[in-house]
Chains A and B, each alone.
Chain A
Amino acid sequence: DQQVKQNSPSLSVQEGRISILNCDYTNSMFDYFLWYKKYPAEGPTFLISISSIKDKNEDGRFTVFLNKSAKHLSLHIVPSQPGDSAVYFCAASLLYNTDKLIFGTGTRLQVFP
């Protein structure tokens, strides 16, 4: 039972354009959502997060949007840079157990010149 889904296994975007990575979840009790970035042969690194009481959180070139009614969140990267090429994981947790992250399957982003 995949509670966090990233239906696009890969995405290719031109440098300077916007990258939009999507994530859907099934458990309406999830309260916190995170995005992690992973380069080959490295562990995931935390990128940005959002609480369910918000619908948007911005950090530099990265913005996460949350649509609770649709159980959908997205990560926008503007402008995209070649160094953004990595696998991006969406993760979610419950209010009473924020340590336990449920990860999606990841989306591989490739930013080409």
Chain B
Amino acid sequence: EAGVAQSPRYKIIEKRQSVAFWCNPISGHATLYWYQQILGQGPKLLIQFQNNGVVDDSQLPKDRFSAERLKGVDSTLKIQPAKLEDSAVYLCASSLDRGFFFLNTEAFFGQGTRLTVV
């Protein structure tokens, strides 16, 4: 079974530039997550999709970050304009459905995209 695919693996941009990350979840997974992991910290949820609808984006800095999941499959996360503090690893995860425990649907993570803003 193919895992969660993310691209690019690495990206270096200057502040105020724009950047986009792409995620292809495991086939058939309805739930998709984007996490931000700053160096020395644990992953922090940015946005959660259920199919092509947003379930939770309470921690997404909406003035500069946007995400979409067209057709309920692939997803893109965009930052415009980037700031130095956006330097982090951006992790995409997917799960069969919502509810880690009720449905025993653990989340599978991709390798992440390491963003460096200079």
B-side contacts of A91, CB under 8 Å: 42
B-side contacts of A93, CB under 8 Å: 100
Bound together, the chains give a CA A52 to CA B95 distance in angstroms of: 22
Decide if A103 touches B44 in the complex (CB within 8 Å): yes
Q: B30-46 toward A: CB 8 Å interface, digit per residue (1/0)?
A: 01010000001111110
Decide if B101 touches A89 in the complex (CB within 8 Å): no
Max chain B CB contacts within 10 Å: which of A49, A89, A98, A102? Answer: A98
B-side contacts of A104, CB under 8 Å: 42
Decide if B42 touches A51 in the complex (CB within 8 Å): no
Chain A interface extent, by class: 20 to 34
Complex partner residue of B93 from A4, A43, A49, A89, CB under 8 angstroms: A43
In the complex with contacts A89-B42, A103-B42, A43-B102 CB distance below 8 A: no
Complex partner residue of B109 from A44, A49, A51, A106, CB under 8 angstroms: A44
Which positions in B face A, CB cutoff 8 Å? 4, 31, 33, 40-45, 48, 55-56, 91, 93, 95, 98-102, 106-112
